[in-house]
Each structure stands twice: as C-alpha cells, then as structure tokens.
Amino acid sequence: MTQQSIQHFNEQFNSAHLDWLESESIHILRELAAECERPALLFSGGKDSLVVLHLALKAFRPNKLPFPLVHIDTGHNFPEVIAFRDYIVDKIGEKLIVGSVEDSMKKGTVRLRNPDTDSRNAAQAVTLLETIEAHQFDACIGGARRDEEKARAKERIFSFRDDFGQWDPKAQRPELWSLYNTRVHKGENMRVFPISNWTEMDIWQYISRENIELPSIYFAHDREVYERNGLIVSNMPITPPQTDEERQSMKIERVRFRTVGDMTCTSPVTSDADNVDKILEETAETTVTERGATRLDDQTSEASMEKRKKEGYF
C-alpha cells in the first residue's frame, strides 16, 4: 500500500467512525426529547457542549430545539467563553437560562471561606440542583465523555439521579443495545450524555469536519502563567501566585486550553497549535487526558470527581 492509499483509507475510516458516533448521539437526543417531559441542554460555550449543541441542531432543525439551553455561571468563567456563549445563543435564536452561583451565595445555600478567590467549581452542583428544581427539569443533557475521567467512564448514558440530585454508581440502570430506561418519579431526574462514547480526538475531528466555531482560548496565544503542583496556572486577579516559588516561575508562555471551566481550577497547556489541524496533531501525540493535564480540582484525591458527582455535580 502506498502512503497516499493509506491516507485515503484512514480518511474513509475516520469519516465512517464519526458518522456512527453522530448517528448514535442524534438517536440519544431524539429518544430523550420523545421520552422526557422537561429536558434541558447544559451549555457552557466549551467545545464539548458546542458539539452537543451542533448535534441537537442537526437532530431537530428546522424546528426550534425541544429544550432550553442552561448555563450554570460560577462568576469565575473565562470572559472569552461567556462572550462566545452569548454570541452562539444569539446566532441560533434559542432560549438560554443562566443559573448563578453568586445568587446561591447571596441566598446562603452556597458558603465559601473566601468568596472572591475560592474555587466555585464544586459549588455549581448546588446551583444546578436549584435551577433544576425551579424549572422542574426531568433531564439535563451534558457533554461529558467516558475518556475524560474514571468516574465518568463507568457512568451510564442515561444517568439516574435521585430526588436529592445524587448519583449512586452502584445502582445504575442497565443499558442493553440501544434501549434506555428514562422513567423517573417527580423530583428525580436524569443526566444524559450523548457523546459519552466520543474521545477527545473524535471531538476535534468532528469540529474540523463540521467547521464548528470555538472560543479563541482553545487556540495558542500568549498568556502570563506560573507553575503550581506541576501544572501551569494563568496569572489572573482571582488566581494570583501564592508562594515565592510560584512568583519566581512567572513568565509569558505560548499556551492554549484543552478544556474550559472555572478559572480557579482550569490550567492551560504549552502549545503552538493555533488552528484545528495543529491541535489534531497534538492530540494524537499526547499521553495525558485533558482533565489530567489541566484540572486542579481533580488533584485533591483520586476519587474527587466521583465524590462531586454523588453530591449532584454534572
């Protein structure tokens, strides 16, 4: 086989693989819309939620989406991502509901030791549950993938949550073939993950194929950063260096973000990849998952994600 024929075969294989993933995800979205009374799509403006939104538009256009978009805003989100979120919502003309962690703090349902600087990432669970209760959602669509983290790897596509919003990994419903049990009692709900079976590489290949727009921080740019616990941290007013060692490591670095979350717990990676093709090359060579390389909140313990999920997290 020549190099050209090998490349042609790989392109055909990748296209067929993406077609299969797309078909499965659209089936899940349509199943949810048919079975659930008040679903919602969790939309942050990050790459995974943008892919899920793109799939939803493919599944239901030219009609309006059968569910609103919901964003849980910590108040510590990257400004570029919030601006991009609003741009996309305005472009597609869909309804956006914003739940605010700061509102939960004012009500006293969220309490932090240092409200201005403490990470509000885990506190999102409280605001999410309050938003679900306020709007009586019985299913929330998320952009989680099984390759991201081991707690997510064992979670079902239709993930049952009890009336306290809690997930019990030992009491999950079976999912045989393409059959999903969507039944819930009043007060209970589902978290539904249409791209569970996708990998980070699949996401970027699909973004490339479908020409999906992304926030600028996913691409290489210059940023003032420092090192903390082996990770790069962006120097911002809410994430200043705390030790002399961190201050001494401060420098301007060419970086990009592999995943986007709360500014207090999301780290960039060094990169010169300023377009999707270069990111695909980087992704093919990386040996560390995107959360393993970028999330400070997952370093507190090996089970930190599972603990948050049991408490109602995405």
Condensed to tens digits (0 to 9), the pLDDT of residues 265-301 reads 888 999 999 999 999 999 999 888 776 655 555 544 4
Q: What's the whole-number average pLDDT of the chain?
A: 87
* Better pLDDT: 154 or 271: 271
- 305 is a domain residue: no
Q: Mean pLDDT over residues 46-69, rounded?
A: 97
Confidence of residue 1 (pLDDT cuts 50, 70, 90): very low
- Specify whether 289 is located in the same domain as 172: no
The predicted model gives 182-202 an average pLDDT of 93
Per-residue model confidence as pLDDT tens digits over 195-241 = 999 999 999 999 999 999 999 999 999 999 999 888 888 888 888 88
Domain final residue pick, 204, 234, 268 = 204
The answer as to whether 310 is a domain residue is: no
Residues 105 and 241 in one domain: no
- 83 or 124: whose pLDDT is higher? 83
State pTM to two decimals.
Answer: 0.88
Q: Are 138 and 223 in the same domain? A: no
**pLDDT at site 34:** 96
Total of domains in the chain = 2
Residues 196 and 259 in one domain: no
Query: Residues 271, 183: one domain?
Result: no
Within a domain: 154: yes
Range of the domain at 61: 3-204
172 domain-assigned: yes
Instruction: Identify the residue with better confidence: 271 or 4.
Output: 271
Same domain as 25, residue 168? yes
Q: Please indicate, yes or no, whether residues 179 and 250 belong to a single structural domain of this protein.
A: no
Percentage with pLDDT > 90 across the chain: 56
Same domain, 125 and 249: no
Query: Is the same domain home to 193 and 237?
Result: no
Asked whether the predicted pLDDT for residue 169 surpasses 80, the reply is yes
Domain boundary among 146, 174, 204: 204
Query: Which of 169, 204, 239 is the endpoint of a domain?
Result: 204
Based on the domain organization, do 145 and 182 belong to the same domain?
yes
Of residues 119 and 60, more confidence is placed in 60
Residue 248 pairs in a beta bridge with none
